[in-house]
Amino acid sequence: MKEKDYEEAYGLIREKRKMLTQRSDEFITMFITKKGLVNLTSEQVREYKRSFHENHWPSFDTYVEMRMSMWAVSIPTENWKSGICSCPPFLKKHKCKHLIAVAATFNLSSIPISAKAIV
102 within 8 A of 59, measured Cβ to Cβ = no
Per-residue pLDDT reduced to its tens digit, 18-61: 888 988 889 999 999 887 666 788 998 998 888 888 888 889 99
Per-residue pLDDT reduced to its tens digit, 82-100: 999 999 999 999 999 999 9
What is the 8-class DSSP label of residue 101?
H
Q: Which residues contact 26 (CB under 8 A, 6 or more apart)?
A: 76, 77, 78
